[in-house]
Amino acid sequence: MRTHVEKPPPVARPWTGARIAGNIVVALWALTGIGLAWYLATAWNAELVDKYGMRFLSGVGTTFTLVGASLVAGALLSLPVALARLSKNRLVNGVAYAYVYAFRGTPLLAQVFLVYYGLGQFSDALKAAGLWWFFRDAWYCGFFAFTLNTAAYQAEILRGAIQSVPRGQWEGAQSLGLPRAVTFFRIILPQALIVALRPYGNEIILMIKGSAVVAIITVYDLFGQARWVFSKTFDFQAYLWAGIMYLIIVETLRILWDALEARLTRHLKR
């Protein structure tokens, strides 16, 4: 038999100062959003979209390929750097530390300039070395600078993650008689990568945002195309659209990465 239970009425939420302020700020955001949408809708120009729409899409493609290639190359390079940082040899450790410090301590834009215009100064030597085809191209120069930059950041992520794996894991593997290399690649690294997932996700997003600086050295990534269209039309929409596209890309990546992380760490859930 069911007894009838009288539930207390829900407590009316009082209109506190915080609630009023919160509603006002949200309303302001909504107004800004509507204003932006209204502006973009009224300023929508089929001719311009026809003329320049494809450029934006190709810009997105360039951003993706450049960042993707740099991240992969940087990941490969970061492994030896991270190992060097963990090395007990002071020289090896010192060199790796200097590399990481230098690339994390200077602006990406300055690094890109140093590679593109700085190395360009030595074109004769580079030609003699047969490397000029690489450094002649702005895309490759951007790729080179980005790779060195992200490798420094990824090495630190990896080092922190490897150090976070308890010593017992090494000792356990050793007691099973596993060689060090096998221990590292089959036992330590997989656990470290789980720890590194979140910082890796952040690094990808930072690279996508940071990659906008290649526009300054004649590469037409998303920002570069926006700049180009702006320089033709002097229409501010170009930057607004680029901003919206960056936001969509970054948010999508964030959601995908969260899903990936949830999936890969599901055995750790309690």
Partner 1 sequence: MTDALALLSFGPEGWGDELARGVLVTVALALCTLPIGLTIGFFVALAKQSEEPSLRLAGNIYTTIFRGLPELLTLFLVYFGVQIGINALLKLLGSGTTVEINSFVAGMFALGVVFSSYASETFLSAFRAIPKGQYEGGYAVGLSYGMTMRLVVLPQLIRIALPGLSNLWLVLLKDTALVSVVGLSDILRQTSIASRVTKEAFFFYGIACLLYLALALVSGAALRRIELRTERGTSR
Partner 2 sequence: MTRTNRIASLLAASALALAATAAGAQEMMKLKIGTEGAYPPFNNLTADGKLEGFDVDIAKALCEEMKAECEFVTQDWDGIIPALQAGKFDAIIASMSITDERKEKVDFTNKYYNTPPAIAVPKDSDIKGVTKEDLAGKAIGVQGSTTHSNYAEATFTDSDVKLYPTADEYKLDIANGRLDAVNDDIIVLQEWLASESGACCKILGTIKPVPEIHGLGAGIAIRKGETELADKFNKAIDAIRANGKYKEINDKYFDFDAFGG
Question: What residues line the site for partner 2 (CB under 8 A)?
Answer: 17-18, 20-22, 24-25, 117, 120-121, 123, 127, 132, 136, 138, 216, 218, 227-228, 230-232, 234, 236
**What dihedral angle (degrees, nearest 10) is formed by the CA atoms of 132, 64, 237, 229?**
30
Residue 207, binding choice from partner 1, partner 2, none, Cβ under 5 to 8 Å by partner class: none
For partner 1, which residue of 188, 213, 217, 219 counts as binding (CB under 8 A)?
213
Which among partner 2, partner 1, none contacts residue 164 (Cβ within 5 to 8 A by kind)?
none
- Total binding residues toward partner 1, as defined by CB under 8 A: 46
Tokens linked to 196: 């590194």
Min separation Cβ 30 and partner 1, Å: 9
Distance CA 172, CA 192 (A): 16
Q: Closer CB to partner 1, residue 116 or residue 143? A: 116
Sign of CA dihedral 101, 103, 104, 106: positive
CB neighbours (10 Å) of residue 132? 17
Among 101, 133, 134, 185, binds partner 1 (CB under 8 A): 101
Name the strand (E) or helix (H) holding 88: none
Is the Cβ–Cβ distance between 159 and 86 less than 8 Å? yes
In whole angstroms, what separates CA 35 from the centre of its chain?
A: 30
Let me know: does 240 contact 56? Beta carbons within 8 Å. no
153 near 104, Cβ under 8 Å?
yes
Residue type, 246: Y
Shortest spacing between CB 202 and partner 1, in angstroms: 10
Q: Is 109 in the site for partner 1 (CB under 8 A)?
A: yes
Picked from partner 2, partner 1, none, the partner binding residue 231 (CB below 5 to 8 A depending on kind) is partner 2
Going from the C-alpha of 35 to that of each of 22, 40, 238, the distances in angstroms are: 20, 9, 16
Q: Which of 247, 255, 262, 264 binds partner 1 (CB under 8 A)?
A: 247
Q: Per-residue contact track with partner 1, 26 to 45, x per CB under 8 A?
A: x--x----------------
Q: Min. distance of Cβ 145 from partner 2 in angstroms?
A: 16
Query: Judged by CB under 8 A, does residue 121 bind partner 1?
Result: yes
The residue among 210, 193, 207, 205 whose CA lies nearest residue 252 is 205
CA dihedral 141, 147, 149, 151 (to 10 degrees): -160
List residues binding partner 1 (CB under 8 A).
16, 18-19, 21-23, 25-26, 29, 101-102, 105-111, 113-114, 117-122, 205, 208-213, 215-216, 223, 226, 236, 239-240, 242-243, 246-247, 250-251
